[in-house]
Amino acid sequence: MSGAQFTRRQLLLLVFVTVFWGLNWPVLKLGVSGYPPLSFRALSMALGLPMLLAICLWMKMPLRVARADWRELGLLTFTNMVVWHTLAILAIQSLSSGRAAILGYTMPIFSAVWGMLWFSQRLSGRQGVGVGAAAFGVALLLWHEIDRLTGSPAGVAGMLGAAAVWAFGTQLLRRTRIAAPTLVLVWWMSVLTTIVMASLAWTFERQAWTPLPPAVWAAVAYNAVLIFGMAQPAWLLLARDLPPAASTLSVMLIPVLGTASGAWFLNESLHWQDGAALALIGIAIVSVLWAPRRPPDDQPAR
């Protein structure tokens, strides 16, 4: 597949995910600066669950998942949500919000590697150019941060590990045999992940619990409504409906937006590499959004 045919609905979901996930990186940094990270994540997810449930009920989706599918659902939950949310929220404590976003969105590169090594997936020439441009863009964005990053190896390793596992989960989600609607899967994955996050927060952070400052409440509300209630379901809809290369490369603008918003809201530094990376990541996005031309006589067989 040399390109991806995006519907108007998918493009709108893509824009929504890109904007609000991109802006969320400085919000996350603000949240974990004022509250224990696992507790912040668990509270945000718990408050987002009612919104997810309301959407499923409004759309009259049956919430039942067949017993035979629960093992696969558990694997999808672990790879798409549990590892990502746990490692990423811990790692961002020792990284700038922009660089955390950059490391997290090495995910498309990991996804391409998983696809070739594990799933016998071949990239088209256009997709190969997109992956290469994305990789070079990430390298440029990290250029000025090498000295700083070497001082926080645990944060770097955690974010890269989270991205690698999330990329594998994206590949699994695209190939899932579970017949339930995607939003129902999102509901159960979110419930299971919230239980895990709440258990970790209770085990490791309960002695540090204090009343939330207003800024942390604002960060929790942003994540509960816009991220867990809306952006994450939108992303998983895209990840399940689109080929992995299209769904992952198409969100590569998120780290650029995360870096820019971190500079705006948290006074994090920007350099010329950020602009160059924006151009390269733009190439990566175009490589999957630019649909291939079809021959005029390409008609379905009768």
Token output for 58: 């409004």
Task: Identify the residue whose tokens are 């080929």.
Answer: 243
Token output for 171: 């590949």
| pLDDT of 298 higher than 70 | no
Domain extents in the chain: 8-289
Which residues, 6 or more positions from 233, have their beta carbon under 8 angstroms from its beta carbon? 52, 55, 182, 183, 186
Q: What is the pLDDT of residues 250-286, one digit of tens each?
A: 677 787 788 788 878 777 766 676 667 667 766 766 6
Q: Which amino acid is at 110?
A: F
* Phi/psi-derived region of residue 120, left when phi > 0, alpha when psi is between -120 and 50, beta in every other case: left
Ranked by mean pLDDT, the top range of 6-10, 41-45, 159-163 is: 41-45
pLDDT at position 295: 47
**DSSP 8-class letter at 92:** G
Q: What is the pLDDT of residues 48-99, one digit of tens each?
A: 999 999 999 999 999 999 999 999 999 999 999 999 999 999 999 888 887 7
pLDDT at position 28: 94
pTM over 0.85: no
pLDDT at position 151: 57
